[in-house]
Amino acid sequence: MSVLDPRHLLLGLAAAASAQLSVTFYDASCPSALATIKSGVTAAGCNASVLLADTANFTGEQTVFPKVNSIRGLDVIDRIKAHVEAVCAQTVSCADILAVAARDSIVALGGPSYTVPLGRRDSTSVSLSKANRDLPPPTSDLTDLVGNFSRKGLSVTDMVALSGN
């Protein structure tokens, strides 16, 4: 499974580091959010990926070179988001849906569960140039990948955990 934040996992991690995240973030505003996300994951499986799209003008993050022919599962995320919106409209961010769906997917495949801090905010814009600059291309070797993740403050362990598949 390729685990990426809806806008960019690495940018999301940087934002999360400075945000005030909490495992109880939706307890009052959308108490059934986690159960709704989990039911969507178990129903269809989940491969988290970028969500902002402008494929008509080739400016959306789904068209960046590192992601060409590698994005799968957007329909699953769209369905989960629709279910969450039906339960509590305009409350749960796509970034949090992806983080929880990634965890629930790992658990559904027999992996360990872990606590997901919540409260991420979604980006409202895309940047093709930033995505092309910040996401490692599929031609990267190990040295390139380690350097790319290191420049974002992530370790080799972080890189392996986030790379999936």
pLDDT above 90: residue 86 = yes
Distance CA 9, CA 12 (A): 5
Q: What is the pLDDT of residues 104-119, one digit of tens each?
A: 888 888 889 999 999 9
Distance CA 147, CA 115 (A): 28
Q: What is the pLDDT of residues 130-149, one digit of tens each?
A: 777 777 777 889 999 999 88
Q: Establish if 117 belongs to a structural domain.
A: yes
Residue 16's CATH number: 1.10.520.10
User: Which of 20-24, 27-31, 118-122, 123-127 is predicted with the least confidence, judged by mean pLDDT?
Assistant: 123-127
Pick the closest to residue 96 from 161, 7, 164 (CA basis).
7
Residue 143 identity (one-letter amino acid): T
What pLDDT is attached to residue 156? Answer: 92
For the residues 38-47, what does the mean pLDDT come to?
A: 56
For 48, the domain range is 9-163
What pLDDT is attached to residue 64? Answer: 58
- The structural domain count of the chain equals 1
Distance CA 148, CA 93 (A): 27
